[in-house]
Structure 1
Amino acid sequence: MSSGPSDDAEGEGGRMIWRHRRGTNAGSPPLDDFSATMLPHLDAAYTLARYLARDAGIADDIVQESFLRAKRNFAAYRGGADKAWLMAIVRNCFFDWARARQRAGHDETDPSDTVAIDDPEAIMARNGTIATVQAAIEALPPLFREAIILREIEGMSYQEIAQATDTPIGTVMSRLSRARLALAVILKATPQAADMVTQ
């Protein structure tokens, strides 16, 4: 296990992200415009990637690639909704990863799939309400997970989500509604969380 950035990290951008996540940015030069603008959203980027990918290691890779893409394209960025811009890049990196995985023959669900509920026993095997809710969110298809994470965990407005996902607001609202319904179905099947849903 490496204690530093991965060998495939591209230059200072990768090392900077790695240092920032571990709180060891002491002694580094002052933050440039990119870092000052985007690094405050690093945790939100990781949260979205983690829930979309359902794997911490893959989420790290997606965030790393997202920040590298953002850094490369920062000169063209017009400013404004920084978080939405970065979340759009994270989202695109995830879907690129999922498509590549699907082409390679891995059994990955299509991002446009409708509700596919994981085995309730697998969800029930997790302890605690938080773990149960996290498992239920992870059981949602990618587009539903994305909508729930951006709205309920990251607190983004419908407009920001629409901008980040390049989707009309009506579609965002519809996805959120369907995601919440699917989440309720999953949680109702989980005895630990059934009381939360019926309240």
Structure 2
Amino acid sequence: MNYKVKNNSLDELIEMARNGDMEALEEIIRRQQKNVFATLYYLNAKPDEIMDLTQEILFKVAKNIRKLKNPKTFKSWLNQIIINQFYDTLRKKQKSVKKVCLDSSPDAKNELEIPDFASNPYQRALDKELERAIKCSIHKLPDPFKMAIIMRELQGLSYEEIAQATNSNIGTVKSRIARARLKLQEYLKPYIN
């Protein structure tokens, strides 16, 4: 890969990709892959499906990047693709399966492995338990709250970008985030000193 492409800003890469530069498109996909994966993980996609969904989403990005009119709206545009693909997959499953539970506890053998920097087994166990509690708490949130808090806290999107991605007004987004934070505090109370 061209060293110059790696040093370009996201906006520059998007413009280059819109003009047919395949190296720029590859760099965009490389940079966004972890973000897409993490978002799907916290949306409670099944671990064995996350990679497939990630690939489908990144394929749609590659296929449709030329349709993106303003590079500044890329994050909102990407989140809209993530949301649509996630819910499309759920709808397809609901047609063939009678019940889909988004609030189920994560299965320990399917947990996402996070690099562990703790020096002792006790601290590692506490960290793992806290990670599990946070994930379970996020999964308990109603979908609109879950989406808003994931976009704000995990992806670092602005209120405006979240509003655009969810087709909501800014006041609604702020309210959802505030209510999600209150719910998370309530759910995580046993873990907070």
- Select 2:84's aligned residue among 92, 105, 122: 92
Cα distance between partner residues in 2 of 1:62 and 1:53: 12
Runs of 4+ in 1 over 6 A off after TM superposition: none
Other-structure match for 2:93: 101
- Write the mapping of 1:1-199 to structure 2, written as runs, cut at 5 A: 31-78=22-69, 79-108=71-100, 127-188=128-189, 191=190, 193-195=191-193
Q: State the 1:48 CA deviation.
A: 0.8
2:68–2:74 Cα contact (<8 Å) kept: no
1:53–1:59 Cα contact (<8 Å) kept: no
Aligned residues: percent identity?
A: 32
Name the SS of the counterpart of 1:128 in structure 2.
helix
Name the SS of the counterpart of 2:72 in structure 1.
coil
Is the helix fraction higher in 1 or 2? 2
Moved more, 80-89 or 101-110: 101-110
Cα distance between partner residues in 1 of 2:167 and 2:50: 21
1:51–1:146 Cα contact (<8 Å) kept: no
Cα distance between partner residues in 2 of 1:66 and 1:178: 29
Q: Which residues of structure 2 form unaligned runs of 5+?
A: 1-20, 109-126
Other-structure match for 1:23: none
Cα distance between partner residues in 2 of 1:85 and 1:60: 20
Name the SS of the counterpart of 2:153 in structure 1.
helix
Normalised to the residue count of structure 2, the TM-score between the two structures is 0.68
Cα distance between partner residues in 2 of 1:108 and 1:159: 31
Q: State the 1:83 CA deviation.
A: 2.2
Q: How many aligned positions are there? A: 152
For residues 147-198 of structure 1, give each alpha carbon's deviation from its aligned partner in whole angstroms, at most 9, with x where no partner exists.
111111111111111122222212211211221122122212xx3x142xxx
Q: Which amino acid aligns with 2:100?
A: E
Q: State the 1:127 CA deviation.
A: 4.5
CA 1:81–1:145: 2 relative to 1, 3 Å: same
